[in-house]
Amino acid sequence: MELLLLASLLLATANAVGGNTTTYIVFLDPARMPAVHASPAHWHASHLESLSIDPARHLLYSYSAAAHGFAAALLPHHLPLLRGSPEVLQVVPDEVFQLHTTRTPEFLGLLTPASYQPAIGNLEAATHDVVIGVLDTGVWPDACGRKLVGARSFSRGLRAANGVLGKTTFRSARDRDGHGTHTASTAAGAAVANASLLGYATGTARGMAPGARVAAYKVCWPEGCLGSDILAGIDAAVADGVGVLSLSLGGGSAPYFRDTVAVGAFGAAAAGVFVSCSAGNSGPSAATVSNSAPWVATVGAGTLDRDFPAYVTLPTGARLAGVSLYAGPSSSSPRPAMLPLVYGGGRDNASKLCLSGTLDPAAVRGKIVLCDRGVNARVEKGAVVKAAGGAGMVLANTAASGEELVADSHLLPAVAVGRTVGDKVREYAARGGRPMAMLSFGGTVLGVRPSPVVAAFSSRGPNTVVPEILKPDMIGPGVNILAGWSGVVGPTGLAKDGRRTNFNIISGERPTVTIRIKLFPAYPWIMCLSWTSMSCPHISGVAALLKAAHPNWSPAAIKSALMTTAYTVDNTNSSLRDAADGSLANAFAYGAGHVDPQKALSPGLVYDISTNDYVAFLCSLDYSLPHIQVITKMSNISCPKKFRPGDLNYPSFSVVFKQKSKRILRFRREVTNVGPAASVYNVKVTSPESVSVTVTPAKLTFNKVGQKQRYYVTFASKAAQNHTKPDFGWISWVNQEHVVRSPVAFTWKM
């Protein structure tokens, strides 16, 4: 009966927000709550009652743990009345966010015999006390193996904006999409022997912290992810006592007081929760990174040393390499054969993209169709080709995707190839005559070199919100990741995919869902899976290991350990490269580098940051006092007179020369000894010719664990006045046992 009443209430809420109402999040000053109110929720409801609004129908959420305020469906004339109240700090419209294994534990050094010793191995029992909260599309509970300690769903914001949920959508926290199950099992999945996707990537699947518990918060739905629902999920997770939060989603770049995730994450971090977020999948373009708040671990994506080779063979004898997860209908399928090849099998150029309805069945039936990557999902292109009667597909990258290869479990024989190979196939198909091609598949290959490589899709810096904070922070495995999957959706996620599997390999776009919501009627919301969605839970799981090993460390200390021990060389001992064009990558692509869990357990020194430090940082951004209060929930805020954004005790440096006269900048940092009591570190500086770097003092001496030492860095630009290209360097504190390394990015805005 209670469930029926709740369902009726939610339906009434959805109906109530029809007409001209719009969902808003109202942030309040908690210090101004009158004593007459028994709870924050009661106080929040009173604000609606003062507007002659029924809270039972219009109040969507009350926030009090990670943020303070409420979400409600309001009419335009309500806004000035609320904003005029001294108790109200800010009223903002609800916003839309995007959803951004068997090999990765070994690749990260968590299973190798030499290293799977006391450092990591003995932590598994300790992580039983660590709960990882996963904000995503829910979880498939049948696959949880007694790890799931809670599962909740939040959809009131979406219902208020969109009216109703889809008919086939689970109203509960059960995962129909698969994405949430995938991220949760990546972070904390228990070991499962003989796991694979239709025979690919066979092995023992396990999460990064297989002993940790999982709490699932379903905040994303087929129709979208709303900020009010996300904030409700964060608020609930903090109240529930999670130790780590994993959010594989993000929005655009906005000041932190207007960024719902940033506001909620601040409250979580202040409560001691480590928050990991995906950097986004808008790379390789510069200045595309999302989730850039310094109290968040912003995670980009790299490749594994595992691949799924497939080949396109031409009558010329050329055997062109690509990738695929196509498993075939059965083991008795016919052997590969030469088939006619067609490019642009339709009336116009749109057919080259293999968009729905663009292919002429008469032109493609029984043939291999060459499709350009872009616009629609990769697996959707294969479905379009199959529906038109095509026998196979070559999915060719264009300049936008470069040489990055992502394997998919297509519905028909299909091979994905990079831009160079794609251009060769396009050129061959354009010669005329009767072009032919043959597709073949090579299974699973390990030990691929070079690896890791920064994924082309991984969003890049610089940070457009606060350029003085270097983002992303680090990269982790994010391409071709095998993990658990929902039992009601096929590996492609397409409605027409009738296959079912317990595991799936994810790297990229899924079928796009477009809806029009009341908040922004002119802008349809497009949902796709962020590839950095897969790297984020890797870091969340590793953070759980560190939290178990060092329960007294702050979230900032854990992030510092992950960053200062990260590596920037691949398995050929060369500098990390960029999958987009094969060039050398830099800190705007990988932050501090690729995470190294073993070394992160013993970083030697950490850069710690307190809540008050973050407040001083916010003051340095010239935010108004109410805006700072929105983020911090603090009433009595005292801003220091001398504090610049670059003075935040961050484990990396972003040096921005903004004025012609400002050629010298000075930063300060403080490190805490978490290694041997008696430790001595010497500084090592790697700098470009464009900048002179001086560190004072050049030696740090520690006599006890927990001791803090401060140092200062002076950066003097030697670049010409017209120098605009960014440069990069490193500042490292070194002794016989540890290298505590911080990346430095230099930019000029003259």
Active site amino acids: 136, 179, 533
Any bridge partners for residue 309, and if so which?
A: 323
Task: Reply yes or no: is the peptide bond before residue 76 cis, omega within 30 of 0.
Answer: no
Any bridge partners for residue 394, and if so which?
A: 370, 415
Compute the distance between CA of residue 396 and CA of residue 412 in angstroms, rounded to an integer. 16
- The angle formed by the CA atoms of residues 108, 110 and 116, to the nearest 5 degrees, is 145
| Token pair for 394 | 């070559």
**Helical ranges in 322-403 per DSSP H:** 361-364, 378-387
| Token pair for 530 | 């962020």
Contacts with 520 (C-beta within 8 Å, 6 or more apart), sequence order: 96
Looking at residue 335, the DSSP 8-state letter turns out to be P
Q: Give percent helix, percent strand, percent coil of the chain, each to the nearest 5.
A: 25, 30, 45
Contacts with 441 (C-beta within 8 Å, 6 or more apart), sequence order: 309, 310, 311, 324, 326, 328, 413, 415
Compute the distance between CA of residue 217 and CA of residue 222 in angstroms, rounded to an integer. 15
CA 296, distance to chain mean position in Å, is 11
Nearest to 85 by CA among 636, 519, 626, 622: 626
Is the CB of residue 151 less than 8 Å from the CB of residue 218? Answer: yes
Contacts with 352 (C-beta within 8 Å, 6 or more apart), sequence order: 343, 344, 370, 371, 372
Q: Where are the beta strands (DSSP E) in 111-211?
A: 131-136, 148-153, 192-197, 200-205
What single string gives the DSSP state of each residue in 53-88? --HHHHEEEEE-SSS-EEEEEE-TTHHHHHHTSTTE
φ, ψ dihedrals at 631, nearest 5°: -75, -45
Compute the distance between CA of residue 286 and CA of residue 464 in angstroms, rounded to an integer. 10
Give the relative orientation of helices 227-240 and 260-270 as an angle to the nearest 10 degrees. 10
Compute the distance between CA of residue 646 and CA of residue 666 in angstroms, rounded to an integer. 9
Q: Collapse the DSSP code of 30 into the 3-class scheme (helix H, G, I; strand E, B; otherwise coil) and give the result.
A: helix
Is the CB of residue 183 less than 8 Å from the CB of residue 204? Answer: no
Compute the distance between CA of residue 301 and CA of residue 324 in angstroms, rounded to an integer. 20
Nearest to 22 by CA among 76, 89, 103, 91: 76
φ, ψ dihedrals at 95, nearest 5°: -125, 165
| Token pair for 496 | 């027409």
**Residues shown for the chain:** 750
Compute the distance between CA of residue 700 and CA of residue 679 in angstroms, rounded to an integer. 8
